[in-house]
Each structure stands twice: as structure tokens, then as C-alpha cells.
Structure 1
Amino acid sequence: MAGEGLMNVSYIFPNGDRYEGECGLSASGAMVRCGAGKHTSANGIIYMGEWHEDRMCGRGTLKLPSGAQYEGEFKDNMYHGTGTYTFPDGSAYNGQFRENRLEGEGAFTNTQGRVWMGDFNGEAALGLKMQHI
């Protein structure tokens, strides 16, 4: 960031979205979200967490109107790194993400509480093992 530091702002976008948090100046002189902040979209999506150059980047929580929620690491507005995605039915995946995809070691807990562990690769998860309780 080229600015002299961060400032706290409260901003309403023309589409009805709201942002409350830290902002700074980009290299081009534009005001951008950076640091910690909360963005609430007009359609009910809420992101609370870290921003870098106007993108979700770092740790944060994204809550969707469906009841789904992601908590973990973001990069360039995508789930990227370690995190937990909880589905609307209460089932959850905890593990590695790469560009919004389940990618790498992880554990899926179904609605009955059974845990399946293994290597996830997008939509495929061959060879998962059920954890015995």
C-alpha cells in the first residue's frame, strides 16, 4: 500500500453493499479495502476478516444466506489454504482448499457425525477412510 497508513471507514456502495473497516490508498491512489473489515452484500452475504488491495486475503469468515459458512484462509477472494466449510445441512469439511476447491488432506463430517478422512481432489475423494469413534 502506498498510503501513509490505514483509516477506518464506513461506506455504502451504489448497489447497497456495506463495508466497515480499514482502508488505505493503492499505488494508483485509489481508496481500497485493506486490513480488517466487514463487508455485507445487499443479498445477505457477510465477510468478516482480512483484506489486501480490495480482495479477501488472509483469515476470515464468509457467511452465506443459505446457512453455509466458510471460516479459514482466503487468497484473491477465494477459499485458499486451511479452512472449514459448513454446509446448510450441518455437514462440514475441514482441511485444505485451493482456489475454492477441496484440495488435499481433509475430513468430512456428515450429518450423523461420521467422519471421513483422506485426500480430496475437487469433486473426487477416492480412498476415504471412516474414522472410528
Structure 2
Amino acid sequence: MRPKSKDRKDNQGSAKPSVPQGEFVFPNNDKYKGEYKVTPGGAIERNGHGTHTSSNGMVYNGEWSEDRMNGHGVLELPSGAVYDGDFYNNQFHGNGTYTWPNGCVYKGSFSNNKLLGEGSFIDTDDQIWAGNFHDRAAPGLKFKLKL
């Protein structure tokens, strides 16, 4: 399919530079629909807002920069797990919420795909554990009572 571009207008009504948008199918049958840019060498890179759907069922809807997930987005995994938060170079990085298929939820900081820093974990019994996380370790978590 031939990519389409759209002109955007700012609040004053003047046209901003055209932002190309299109739909692409990759050789592995992954699909992308959204904004992109053409590099000086003529390559097409995902850039701006778009949705990438992999052939195995993973879906990312969010911001792209330099053909990578960068900025805020939502990643839905085939297992049913969902990450909603910040990305940097295709990794969970910054603040976000990760929901496991069993309903457990972590809300807090991530660094290079790892839980790192302040956050809270809500277990399957809806109990909240808060504290400082270090990847898979979280010494000294505090249980929050619901009164």
C-alpha cells in the first residue's frame, strides 16, 4: 500500500509541515500503521504516533522515534500482560504500569525493562505492597492496610 501524508494545522490555521502517514507490512508479516519519516538515505522509519502489530499478536500503540518505541505507549503481549507507560529505545523506562495476566499490577519506576525505584505492587487479593524495587527483589516492602 502506498503511504499517505496529511497536512496538520496549528491553532492559528496555518499549515505545519506535512507528516507522512502510512501502513506497512514487514517481511515477517508484522504490520505498522502510523506516522513515519524518510531518512536522508531513503529508508522509512517509524516516527511519531503509530501502532505496530507483530505476527505473534503483540501490539504496541504509542510514540516512536528513530524506528524505536520512545515516549509513552501501551504494549499488549500475547500472554495477556499489558504495559502502559514510558519507553526508551524499545524498553520500559520511566514511569509505567505493568499488569500480569493473573491481574497483579505493578505501578512505578522502570529502568531498562526492570522494576527499579519507588513503586507499588497489587496482588491477586487486591493487597497493596509499596516500597523500593530492584528488579525482582524488593526488600522492606510495606503492606498498605485498607481501612
Per the TM superposition, whether the score is higher than 0.5 is: yes
Displacement of 1:5: 4.8
Displacement of 1:132: 1.0
2:118 corresponds to 1:105 = yes
2:118 corresponds to 1:118 = no
Displacement of 1:27: 4.4
Q: Which of 47, 50, 54 does residue 63 from structure 2 map onto? A: 50
Root-mean-square deviation over aligned CA pairs: 1.0
Distance, in Å, in 1 between the alignment partners of 2:83 and 2:116 is: 15
Displacement of 1:75: 0.2
Q: Which of 24, 44, 49 does residue 11 from structure 1 map onto? A: 24
Distance, in Å, in 2 between the alignment partners of 1:26 and 1:108 is: 42
Residue identity matched to 1:8: Q
| TM-score normalised by length of structure 2 | 0.86
Report the equivalent of 1:24.
Answer: 37
Task: Say whether the 8 Å CA contact 1:17–1:39 is kept in structure 2.
Answer: yes
2:59 corresponds to 1:59 = no
Distance, in Å, in 2 between the alignment partners of 1:37 and 1:119 is: 33
Displacement of 1:6: 2.5
Report the equivalent of 1:96.
Answer: 109
Report the equivalent of 1:132.
Answer: 145
| TM-score normalised by length of structure 1 | 0.95
Residue identity matched to 1:74: F
Report the equivalent of 1:33.
Answer: 46
In structure 2, do the counterparts of structure 1 residues 5 and 31 end up closer, same or farther at CA, with 3 Å as the change threshold?
A: farther
Report the equivalent of 2:7.
Answer: none
5+ long unaligned stretches in structure 2: 1-16
Residues 42-71 of structure 1: CA deviation (Å, up to 9, x unaligned): 000000000000000000000011110000
Task: Say whether the 8 Å CA contact 1:45–1:65 is kept in structure 2.
Answer: yes
Distance, in Å, in 1 between the alignment partners of 2:103 and 2:40 is: 43
Q: How many residues align?
A: 130
- Structure 1 runs of 4+ aligned residues shifted over 4 Å read none
Distance, in Å, in 2 between the alignment partners of 1:113 and 1:96 is: 20
Displacement of 1:28: 3.5
5+ long unaligned stretches in structure 1: none
Displacement of 1:106: 0.1
2:91 corresponds to 1:81 = no
